[in-house]
Structure formats: structure tokens, C-alpha cells
Amino acid sequence: MKQKLAVFDMDGTLLDSLPDLAESGCALLASYNLPSVTDTQVRGMIGNGVPLLVERLLAAAAAQGAKQQVEQIDHAEACHRFMALYTPRATQLSRLFPGTEEALHTMRAQGWRLAVCTNKPEVAALAILERFNLFPLFACVGGGDSFVARKPDPRHLLGTIEKAQSVPEHTVMIGDMAPDLLAAQGAGCPALFAAWGYGDPNLADLAQAQAVSMAEVPDCAARLLA
């Protein structure tokens, strides 16, 4: 029998990354002399990978009267510029959500394999896990550039599950945003909504269960595979 696998999203699930993402987003806009955005605005932009985050940042600047300036910007170059700004500061202000380390160690002790499925570039996700001394706990990381597709496409999650040497029926996906939960639906595995994250509470309707904190994840995940 395959070992149970818990697949975690990163931003808004394991990591409160909003401060560093918002700071990097503001720096990106400033580099183009564009109007800035608030942390609250950036919070609603997170979860679909760097290209869409950058697109949303530029759209927010355009909506503040900088449409002509934004139309002159090459999107690919802006994404590259964002990563150059974000990579060195990815863990300056970001912090693990309360109870994360304890929950992960508990699950490992209970016999779970652990993996990360994030729309972040793989190298950024790996660096963050190393920074917080979590890397040894995880069997693998499926980044936004690791496969031919990214969440909500189920191929991203299925690729991560295969990389972790498991199968969907023995897997739980834990995440706070629609891409996480929709990927789980498509992959045929139960989803656990991370209610402490950045997603709208109504997204719980897309999951088979929800947890209000990382401390609840081990028990909730176990019930989903009981």
C-alpha cells in the first residue's frame, strides 16, 4: 500500500509571504515609475504564480491612471525584473504560519510523506524551505515551472504526487486558494481548505474539509483518508 501523502501549497498555507511579495511588487512598480499598491491589494493577487501576479500589479497601476505607461512594458521583462527583486528578499519579512513546524513534524511521525505544490518557481520554493529548515521534511517540491502546467491544472498536482511516489487516492491537498482546490478536484484527491490563509472563506465549499489553523491539519487530513 502506498504511503499517505500530504501536499501543501506554500503562499498562504505554509508561509505568510504577503509582506515580501507586497514589498517586491511595490519595488517593481517603482522601477517603472508607476503608482504603488497596498498590501491589501497584493493579498488578492497572490496564488496563481509570478506571471499573473505581475499582470495584476501592472493592471492596478493602469487603473490609477498609468495605462499608457503600462502598455509600453514588456510582460516577460517585468516578470524577470520582479524575480530579481523578490528572490533576495523572499524570506526577509515572510514567516511560517503559527504551528507549521509542529504540524509537519507530527505528520512525519505519523507516517505521512510530505510535498509542496506551489505556483512559485521551484528554485524560490526550495530556497524558502531551506531558509526555514523545512527541506528535510519534504519528499519533493513541484514548482510553478516544474511541469508543463501549473495549478489549477491538475497535471501540476498529479506531477507532484508522482514525484513523491504516491497516488491521488492516498493524497490530501492542503491549500487556501481556488487553484489548490480545483487542482485537487481534477486530480481526484480530497482537498483541505486552509482557512487561515489568503483565500475567501467561501472557497471552503470547493474542499472536502477545512482547518482553521495548521495545528488542526494532521487530524483533519487523517480523517479525509480514513
Catalytic sites, residue numbers: 9
Order the strands of the 191-194 sheet from edge to edge: 140-142, 113-117, 5-8, 171-175, 191-194, 209-211
Nine cell digits for residue 62: 493602469
Residues 6 or more apart whose Cβ sits within 8 Å of residue 208: 190, 191, 192, 224
Closest CA to 144 of 183, 171, 197: 183
